């Protein structure tokens, strides 16, 4: 199954009234989202509130009632401010007088846009560096009393567009400054606003057990992975969805894992180095460097930003045993929520009692290590596995180091590096990418 997650908005939601920010919309497409509620927030007990000290822990933590009242007050103030800025007298029409908001006809329906949003998004060379495409001014530079008027034009590159003229523009910009936005860009802004306001989040990740991953598992040839961008895109897309990918025909070199990782981006350097060796040795500083059984785990979870991807290239596989196996923690968590909701809530709550945690962790571990959840494979020489270290747990069976050599070369890649590469390829091949659960279309 794939995930479609809906998060509840804390300040403004579609259920509390019309959503208005950069634009105003009249309808929202119906969806059937899978809802994961947040269980980790709670109000303090009386004893906790009594022990709360502003000198040691900051201001008093608000109760649920106080937090609700504050939220309602913020929402009321936001509505009042939006109503003042986009009331009827402040909405400009085509070829009309300057106003704080403008009405643009999109697909036969008038849509309202805040001029602050349109000015802040100006793509002209004076506002964005032509090479880096980065803004050369700050959002806070836009005047609060900004007003704009517009006319329709046909841009040679972007097609039908609006061209805005500004009253009281950003300091340093002359009266000749104009802002152009295509109708297509405005339409995409509306769709993004609906998704952000509605709390709908797209998630293409696929939950799997042994049967599912055995059926859907992907093997990619090393040369194709290294030389063809479409193959790389297909491989990284699969890796993002399943958290597990295998490469075959990898050259017998200690640098091969560097080449594989570098195809994605910069390697993550840790206290183990840019790369590291998983092989048995005496007085090992890590249990992974012994021939012992190694249970399901994730690497370096005690660091501030644990690695996103882990690569393991098999250089030597000449000893009996040492099979690797993998388990999808997301699949197990979904099962736990369905079968034992109280245990799921416990693992999502901090702080919690140690005994409750132990009981919940036992239930979760049983699901993770169940035979039907484990995908087992013994890496042969010249093969490499890449997996999502923050999702897929990995383990290893014991092996007899006296009967041959087992040697894996490893490397890590951070999440920012991986998602940057994936999004560049998504834009290249699909004209869009997924960011924070929202579909973003490439700008023309």
Length of the chain: 444
Query: What secondary structure does DSSP assign to 236-285, as a single string?
Result: HHHHHHHSEEEEES--SSTTHHHHHHHTTSPPPPBTTBSEEEEE--TT-S
- Nearest CA to 373 out of 244, 206, 213, 205 is that of 213
Specify the pLDDT at position 203: 86
Q: Where are the alpha helices (DSSP H) in 275-320?
A: none
Q: Is 232 found in the same domain as 93?
A: no
284 within a domain of the structure (yes/no): yes
279 within a domain of the structure (yes/no): yes
111 within a domain of the structure (yes/no): yes
Q: Is 155 found in the same domain as 181?
A: yes
Q: Which two tokens stand for residue 362?
A: 């036992």
Choose one of 162, 181, 200: the last residue of a domain. 200
- Write the CB contacts of 264 (distance below 8 Å, at least 6 apart in sequence): 236, 309, 413, 417, 418, 421
In tens digits, what is the pLDDT along the chain, a chain of 444 residues? 655 443 433 333 333 333 445 565 443 334 444 433 333 334 444 444 444 444 444 445 567 677 777 767 766 665 555 555 566 667 888 888 999 999 999 999 999 999 999 999 999 999 999 999 999 999 999 999 999 999 999 999 999 999 999 999 999 999 999 999 999 999 989 888 877 777 767 888 999 999 999 999 999 999 999 999 999 999 999 999 999 999 999 999 999 999 999 999 999 999 999 999 998 887 777 888 888 889 999 999 999 999 999 999 999 999 999 999 999 999 999 999 999 999 999 999 989 999 999 999 999 999 999 999 999 999 999 999 999 999 999 999 999 988 999 999 999 999 999 999 999 999 999 988 887 777 887 765
Choose one of 172, 200, 228: the last residue of a domain. 200
CB 24 within 8 A of CB 110: no
Specify the pLDDT at position 197: 76
- Nearest CA to 406 out of 316, 294, 278, 320 is that of 316
109 within a domain of the structure (yes/no): yes
Q: Is 268 found in the same domain as 191?
A: no
Q: Is 361 found in the same domain as 415?
A: yes
Q: Is 217 found in the same domain as 196?
A: no
CATH of the domain at 113: 3.30.2020.30
Range of the domain at 299: 207-435
CB 125 within 8 A of CB 116: no
Q: Is 422 found in the same domain as 366?
A: yes
Specify the pLDDT at position 435: 78
Specify the pLDDT at position 50: 46
Choose one of 177, 200, 223: the last residue of a domain. 200
24 within a domain of the structure (yes/no): no
49 within a domain of the structure (yes/no): no
Specify the pLDDT at position 440: 80
Specify the pLDDT at position 9: 34
Q: Is 190 found in the same domain as 285?
A: no
Q: How many structural domains is the chain composed of? A: 2
Q: Is 220 found in the same domain as 183?
A: no
- Nearest CA to 121 out of 175, 73, 161, 66 is that of 161
Q: Is 154 found in the same domain as 224?
A: no
Q: Is 378 found in the same domain as 252?
A: yes
Q: Is 187 found in the same domain as 327?
A: no
CATH of the domain at 231: 3.60.130.10
């Amino acid at each position: 199954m794939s995930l479609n997650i809906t998060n509840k908005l804390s300040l403004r939601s579609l259920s509390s009234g019309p959503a208005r920010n950069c634009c105003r919309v009249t309808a929202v497409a119906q969806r059937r989202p899978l809802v994961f509620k947040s269980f980790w927030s709670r109000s303090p007990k009386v004893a906790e509130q009594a022990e709360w000290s502003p000198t040691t822990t900051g201001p008093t933590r608000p109760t649920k009632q106080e937090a609700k009242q504050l939220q309602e007050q913020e929402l009321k103030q936001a509505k009042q401010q939006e109503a003042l800025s986009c009331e009827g007298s402040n909405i400009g029409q085509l070829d009309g007088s300057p106003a704080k908001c403008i009405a643009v006809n999109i697909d036969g329906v008038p849509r309202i846009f805040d001029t602050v949003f349109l000015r802040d998004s100006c793509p002209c060379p004076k506002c964005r560096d032509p090479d880096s495409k980065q803004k050369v001014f700050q959002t806070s530079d836009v005047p609060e009393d900004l007003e704009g008027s517009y006319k329709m034009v046909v841009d040679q590159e972007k097609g039908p567009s609006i061209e805005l003229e500004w009253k009281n523009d950003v300091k340093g910009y002359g009266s000749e400054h104009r802002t152009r936005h295509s109708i297509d860009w405005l339409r995409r802004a509306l769709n993004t606003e609906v998704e952000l306001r509605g709390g709908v989040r797209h998630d293409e990740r696929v939950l799997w057990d042994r049967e599912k991953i055995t059926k859907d598992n992907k093997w990619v040839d090393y040369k194709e992975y290294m030389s063809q961008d479409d193959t790389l895109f297909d491989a990284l897309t699969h890796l993002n969805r399943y958290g597990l990918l295998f490469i075959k025909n990898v050259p017998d070199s200690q640098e091969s894992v560097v080449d594989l990782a570098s195809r994605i981006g910069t390697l993550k350097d840790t206290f183990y180095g840019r790369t590291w060796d998983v092989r048995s040795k005496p007085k090992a500083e890590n249990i992974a460097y012994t021939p012992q059984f190694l249970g399901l785990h994730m690497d370096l979870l005690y660091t501030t930003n644990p690695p996103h991807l882990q690569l393991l290239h098999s250089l030597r596989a000449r000893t009996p045993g040492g099979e690797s196996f993998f388990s999808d923690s997301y699949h197990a968590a979904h099962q736990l929520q369905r079968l034992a909701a109280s245990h799921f809530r416990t693992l999502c709550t901090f702080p919690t009692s140690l005994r409750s945690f132990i009981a919940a962790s036992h239930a979760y571990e049983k699901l993770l290590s169940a035979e039907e959840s484990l995908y087992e494979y013994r890496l042969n020489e010249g093969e490499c596995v890449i997996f999502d270290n923050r999702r897929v747990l990995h383990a290893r069976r014991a092996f007899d180091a006296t009967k041959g050599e087992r040697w894996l070369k490893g490397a890590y890649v951070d999440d920012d590096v991986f998602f940057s590469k994936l999004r560049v390829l998504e834009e290249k091949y699909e004209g869009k990418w997924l960011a924070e659960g929202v579909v973003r279309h490439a700008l023309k």
